[in-house]
Each structure stands twice: as C-alpha cells, then as structure tokens.
Amino acid sequence: MIFQCLIFKITGIVGGKDMSQIFATIIFIAMFIMIIIEKWKRHTVTLVSAALTIIVVFGLCMKSVSAIIETLNIHSIFTVEFWYHTGKATETASGINWETIIFILGMMIMVEGMAHVGFFRWLCMKIAKMVNYRVVSIYITFMLLSTFLAMFIDSITVILFLAAVTIELAQLLKFNPISMILAEIFCANLGGAATMCGDPPNIIIGTSLGYSFGDFVTNTGLIVAIAVPVVILYFYLIARKQLIAETSKQSDASMYPDPSTAITNKKGFVISAIIFGGAIILLITHAQTGLTVATIGTFIGVVTLIAAGKGAMGLIKKIDYETLLFFVGLFVVVGGLEQTGVLEIMAGFIGEISGGNQVIMIAIILWISAIASAFVDNIPFAATMIPIIRTLAATQGVDLSVLAWTLAMGTDIGGSATPIGASANVVGIATAGKEGYIIRWGRYCKLMVPATVIVLLISMIVLYIRYL
C-alpha cells in the first residue's frame, strides 16, 4: 500500500509539475529493463539512455544548458576540491562522479599490473595452501577477508582485488567462482557499512552531520558485527552442495605447485606489493591527508605504469573501458532524476507519511532507502535524504543520530540487492565476465536479495532494541 501511494505521489506531482520528470523517470525505467533483459551490452544501454536524458530531458523539456553542464560535471575536475579536500562537508555534485571514475581506472591499472607479475596467483596459491586447498575453508576465509578489508578500504578496491584472486584460485583448483564472488561482493558492502570511510554514503552522512569514525564503529559497526555470522551461514548453506562436490573432486594437496612458482617477475612482484600497500595506506589515511580518491587513483595508476616500463601499454589495453563507460552513462541518467526533482519527491514522501511515529519513521527510512539504493546510485540518494532526516529530527523531536544510522544501513545494504545498486557490484560482475564467468540478473538477485532482506531485518531489530 505504501509503495502504491509513493508511485501515485510521484506520478501525480510529476504530471502536474514538469514533463521533464516524466521523461527522466521513463528513461530510467527503460534503461533498467534493457539492462535486465541483457540483449545489448550494459554500457551501450546506459550511454544511449544518457544521450536521451541530455537531449530530451535537459534539452527539449528543461531547455537548460546549466543542467547539462552540472550533470556532465567536467568543470569539477579542474577545481582544487576535486584533488584535495579540507575535511569539511561539501555539497555532492549531481551527475557524473569523475572522482569515482578516475579512482576505478587507477585501481584497474594497479590490479592488472599485479596480475601481470603473478601477485594474485601467488596469493591465491598461498591462501589455498594455508587451508589445505579446501574450497569450503577458502569460501569462508574470503568472505571474512572481504568484510574486514572493506571496513578500511573502498569496497571497489576490495572487489577488484579479491575477484581477481578468486578467479585465479578457481582456475587453479577447478571450481566455479561465481557464488564466491557474489558472497565477496555482499560482504564488501556489509563491511563498508561498519565505518565512516568504508562506504561513500557514510562519508557523506558523517561529514554532513558531524559524526566521527568512532561513532560509526559503535553504531553501524555493531549491527555489522551481529550480521556477519548470519551472512556467512546463509551463503554457506546456499552453496554447500556445490562446495562439497567440488571439494570431493580435488587432488592431494602435494600435487599442487609451490606458491613461489607463480611469481613471473620477482622485482615487479616486490614493486607491486609496495604499490598495493601504499594504496591501502593512502585510502585509510585520506581523511587525514586531505587527498581525494581521484588523487589516490591517479597516483597509483601512474606509479604502476611507470613501474611496468615497456609493459605499460599492455596494461592500458587491458583496462575494462566498458565498465567505465557504463558508470558514465548511469551517472548521467541518475543525474536526470536529481535535476528534475524525482529523488527529492521520493525522499519527501518518507517524511510526509511517517508523522511523529519513530517506529514507523525508522522502518520507512530503512526500507525505502534500501529499495531506492538497489536501483539508483546510493551516493546522491544519501545526499538527498540528509536534509530530510535533519528536518524530521528538528520538527518531530526524533534523535538525529538514530535516523542517521538508519539511513546509513539502508543505503549501504540496499545497494547489494541488484547488479547496479553499488559500484562494487558492477566491478565484481565485470571482472568475472572478463574471464568468461557471466553473472546474469536472475542468478544475482536470486542469491543477493534474500541476503539483503536478512541484514535489513537484523538492522531494524537492533535499531528498535537499542534506540527505542
């Protein structure tokens, strides 16, 4: 009933206010359907949708050059804040997030460089040897590793790294890595919810509302700690038959090569390890140093190319440009929803129907945020919701921090439900696809939607018990 009212609210306001809202919504829905049916490449769909948004929504309907400029957001690249920030809260620009694009590009170059010298193959063989080449043990270990790393490192970097390792390991031990990669994606998004620096929405919420790293750890971190064992059990139960069958087919551990044989270039290996360690340090400390993810991504990419020497061109050719173009198109279409006010309508509806009932308010913010984040980028949605929860706290007498933790869990976890809900999802699926492991919408959602619902229910229970 609530969702029916929301749809009516959106269409009613849209129809009476501005045709641009109608076309922005239609383009987004059409893009979403085209991606699901998978008849065309994802980046082609988003780029065509982006072109329609610019021409139809911004051009014909809005007749706004400024909307086009803001959505393309090219000017932001030439500002000091793009490369260096002071730590103060700033408005999140709509449209293309070039920081994310540049960061992913730099990380892709680093990952390709590490793969070229045998780093991933060495690591996967080392881990496999430590757990006696048991697929079940590797499965659980990698879920825990993904959760932990994502607490301090951007989930995109975590998945770029772990997905590559998983595929290498799958090729070595002869098992299908798809379920493991999906479990890693979910755990990366879950781990990112535990800290302020783990997920972009948390950074926005923390800097805008004045919360610290410790505030997130003691609030959203507690929820994550409770959810992790449940999530691991869920994915294990889902994949146990496959894992047991694949374990039974394995040869004696002594038959596998020594991990050191995976290293193709010892000097390059050491350099790659140093670069990776440097990337982790820079990402963990970027709030203190003021360096943005764009600066870090650029630095890491350039250093990797320099270290590669004559092999630099080979690394550039291996970059997954289709994924980068997919993000560009998606950002433009979501920018259309922002510019026309559709996201604002959705956010405003939450405040309208919740009234002063804190129980209802928490439930609505959590589930609507989760559902919205499953289909649109959670960064602009979180930015849109912040003034809403601030107003609700001021007018309804509700504790702002409770609404902030609710919003953080909804946006962070909800993004796991669909292949386009979070950047880590897109990157992980693309990495698997490059190696021939195609993850389609049906298989993705069948595994990830129930896990998302489980964690959201845990979040709601903890929020109610602790804060009401």
Give pLDDT, residue 8.
45
Whether the pLDDT of residue 250 is over 60: the answer is: no
- Tokens encoding 280: 């982790």
CA gap 145, 171 in Å, rounded: 20
Contacts of 46 (CB under 8 A, 6+ apart): 31, 35, 325, 326, 328, 329, 330, 332, 333
Mean pLDDT of 52-80: 93
CA gap 369, 373 in Å, rounded: 6
Contacts of 310 (CB under 8 A, 6+ apart): none
Work out the pLDDT band at 3, boundaries 50, 70, 90: very low
Largest distance between two CA atoms of the chain: 72
Whether the pLDDT of residue 432 is over 80: the answer is: yes
Task: State percent of the chain over pLDDT 70.
Answer: 91
Residue in 159, 149, 241 with CA at minimum distance from that of residue 195: 149
Which residue type, as a one-letter code, is found at position 379? I
Residue in 447, 384, 457, 369 with CA at minimum distance from that of residue 415: 369
Lowest mean pLDDT among 196-200, 279-283, 436-440: 196-200
Work out the pLDDT band at 88, boundaries 50, 70, 90: low
Mean pLDDT of 90-95: 58
Q: Residue 233: count other Cβ atoms within 10 Å of its Cβ.
A: 12
Whether the pLDDT of residue 329 is over 70: the answer is: yes
Give pLDDT, residue 370.
94
Entry field: residues in the chain: 468
158-178 pLDDT, tens digit per residue, is 898 889 888 988 887 888 899
Task: State percent of the chain over pLDDT 90.
Answer: 42
DSSP lists the bridge partners of residue 291 as: 84
CA gap 188, 144 in Å, rounded: 9
Give pLDDT, residue 312.
93
The string of DSSP letters for 70-93 reads: HHH-GGGGGSHHHHB--S---PPP
Question: For residues 413 and 402, is the Cβ–Cβ distance under 8 A?
Answer: no
CA gap 300, 160 in Å, rounded: 14
Residue whose entry in the numeric block shows the structure tokens 């998004």: 189
Q: Tell me whether residue 247 is exposed, middle or buried, using C-beta atoms within 10 angstroms of its C-beta: 0 to 12, 13 to 18, 19 or more.
A: middle
More confident residue, 128 or 140: 140
Contacts of 285 (CB under 8 A, 6+ apart): none
CA gap 112, 318 in Å, rounded: 7
CA gap 352, 74 in Å, rounded: 36
Q: Where are the domains of the chain?
A: 2-72+119-262+320-467
Mean pLDDT of 250-263: 71
Give pLDDT, residue 91.
47
Lowest mean pLDDT among 1-15, 233-247, 332-346: 1-15
Whether the pLDDT of residue 182 is over 50: the answer is: yes
Give pLDDT, residue 10.
47
Give pLDDT, residue 186.
96
Contacts of 63 (CB under 8 A, 6+ apart): none
Whether the pLDDT of residue 375 is over 90: the answer is: no
Work out the pLDDT band at 251, boundaries 50, 70, 90: low
Give pLDDT, residue 105.
92
Whether the pLDDT of residue 100 is over 50: the answer is: yes
Whether the pLDDT of residue 26 is over 90: the answer is: yes
Question: Mapped to the 3 state alphabet, what secondary structure does 231-244 carry?
Answer: HHHHHHHHHHHHHH
Residue whose entry in the numeric block shows the structure tokens 């400029």: 69
Whether the pLDDT of residue 1 is over 50: the answer is: no
Work out the pLDDT band at 402, boundaries 50, 70, 90: very high
* Torsional sign, CA 250, 253, 257, 260: positive
Residue whose entry in the numeric block shows the structure tokens 């991933």: 120
Angstrom distances, CA of residue 320 to CA of 17, 68, 112, 165, 184: 41, 26, 10, 17, 20
Question: For residues 173 and 280, is the Cβ–Cβ distance under 8 A?
Answer: no
Work out the pLDDT band at 101, boundaries 50, 70, 90: confident
Give pLDDT, residue 16.
39
CA gap 45, 142 in Å, rounded: 33
Which residue type, as a one-letter code, is found at position 148? F
Give pLDDT, residue 35.
82
Whether the pLDDT of residue 413 is over 80: the answer is: yes
Mean pLDDT of 234-259: 73
385-395 pLDDT, tens digit per residue, is 887 888 888 87
Mean pLDDT of 346-375: 84
CA gap 392, 380 in Å, rounded: 19
331-360 pLDDT, tens digit per residue, is 899 889 888 988 778 777 777 787 768 899
Whether the pLDDT of residue 397 is over 90: the answer is: no
Average pLDDT score, the chain:
85
Work out the pLDDT band at 464, boundaries 50, 70, 90: very high
Residue in 41, 231, 238 with CA at minimum distance from that of residue 144: 231
Work out the pLDDT band at 89, boundaries 50, 70, 90: very low
